[in-house]
Amino acid sequence: MTGFSAQWLALREPADHRARDISLQSLVIHDLERLARMRAGSLKLVDLGSGSGSNLRALAPLLPEHQHWTLVDYDPALLEAARAACMEWADQVVARDTSLKLIKNNKHITISFRCEDLSSNIEVVLAEPSDLITAAAFFDLVAVDWLERFCGLLATPLYTVLTYNGIENWTPPEPSDAAMLKAFHAHQQTDKGFGAAAGPTAAGVMESLLHARGFIVSSASSPWKLDAKDHGLIEQLATGSAGAVRDTGLVTQEAVEAWQQSRRQALTCEIGHTDLYARPRQF
């Protein structure tokens, strides 16, 4: 699977946390609070493609008091970065071993770390008992046939945020924006370790597959809305997007370079994402 650096994930984390759709998130929290009242023990949450743990840090402070998270990623270096970031984020580190026990906002959070190749081992991961499967900025990287496998196996509520949906608006506009976006989408659909990626179509594909399986599915827009306070992220986003387009060969090198230089100084940037919450009808 294509790797992401801990530095990039840290840079995007504030924008990711702002972008989440609050109404959909509130529905997830309500359902998990109801589940926690119905039985004893910790809620069990599994975070797919967890990276450095940003999804946990966004959601855990809002959930019931006792939680057990399993962070799953193929990259052991990112799992170590997640361990370090979560320890720094915690109000108190209660225990540290193969797993962590933390307190944050009076929530008691146990974190396990699992290094796993999700492209081949998703069946093993989903076979483990859990109350919620979650992910952030993950499902646009996987292939449609992998999504079919995943949705066919899923028997647990799923909450996924920040799936790229292909909508981009930069200001001021540039004549090459449309050509650059088309080429970027072509790159998004190349193999990221799971086969040809679903890219911007992923959220819609998942919604259709889960509806067909009888899940109740809700979705909402969760765009990044970046401005002057996000200048560092805008610069890196422009550089990364230009690099992806350059790899496709679909836009001349001169046009890519001009776009990159302009977009590194963009006043605002909106990058579209979709959040999705799906739960079995009996949940």
> Does residue 253 lie in a domain region?
no
pLDDT > 80? residue 267: yes
pLDDT > 60? residue 205: yes
> Does residue 90 lie in a domain region?
yes
> Considering the chain, what percentage of its residues have pLDDT values greater than 70?
99
Q: What is the pLDDT of residue 211?
A: 97
pLDDT > 50? residue 1: no
Q: What is the pLDDT of residue 252?
A: 96
pLDDT > 60? residue 241: yes
pLDDT > 80? residue 3: no
The arithmetic mean of pLDDT across residues 29-58, rounded, is 96
Q: What is the pLDDT of residue 5?
A: 85
Structural domain harbouring 205: 6-165+195-225+273-279
> Does residue 184 lie in a domain region?
no
Reported as a single tens digit per residue, the pLDDT across 92-144 is: 999 999 999 999 999 999 999 999 999 999 999 999 999 999 999 999 999 99
> Does residue 257 lie in a domain region?
no
> Considering the chain, what percentage of its residues have pLDDT values greater than 90?
95
Whether a cis peptide bond, with omega within 30° of 0, leads into 172 is yes
> Does residue 19 lie in a domain region?
yes
| Tally of domains in the chain | 1
15 touches 224 (CB < 8 A): yes
Q: What is the pLDDT of residue 204?
A: 97
Specify the residue for token string 């799906």: 278
Per-residue confidence band for 283, with pLDDT thresholds at 50, 70 and 90: confident
196 touches 189 (CB < 8 A): yes
Reported as a single tens digit per residue, the pLDDT across 130-185 is: 999 999 999 999 999 999 999 999 999 999 999 999 999 999 999 999 999 999 99
In whole angstroms, give the CA distance from residue 261 to residue 234. 11
Q: Whose CA is closest to 32, among 116, 101, 132? A: 132
Q: How far is CA 177 from CA 28, 87, 168, 185, in A?
A: 36, 41, 9, 12
CATH code of the domain containing 109? 3.40.50.150
119 touches 194 (CB < 8 A): yes
Per-residue confidence band for 270, with pLDDT thresholds at 50, 70 and 90: very high
Per-residue confidence band for 7, with pLDDT thresholds at 50, 70 and 90: very high
> Does residue 34 lie in a domain region?
yes
> Does residue 180 lie in a domain region?
no
pTM tops 0.85: yes
Q: ∠261-264-265 over CA atoms, to 5°?
A: 100
In whole angstroms, give the CA distance from residue 51 to residue 216. 28
> Does residue 171 lie in a domain region?
no
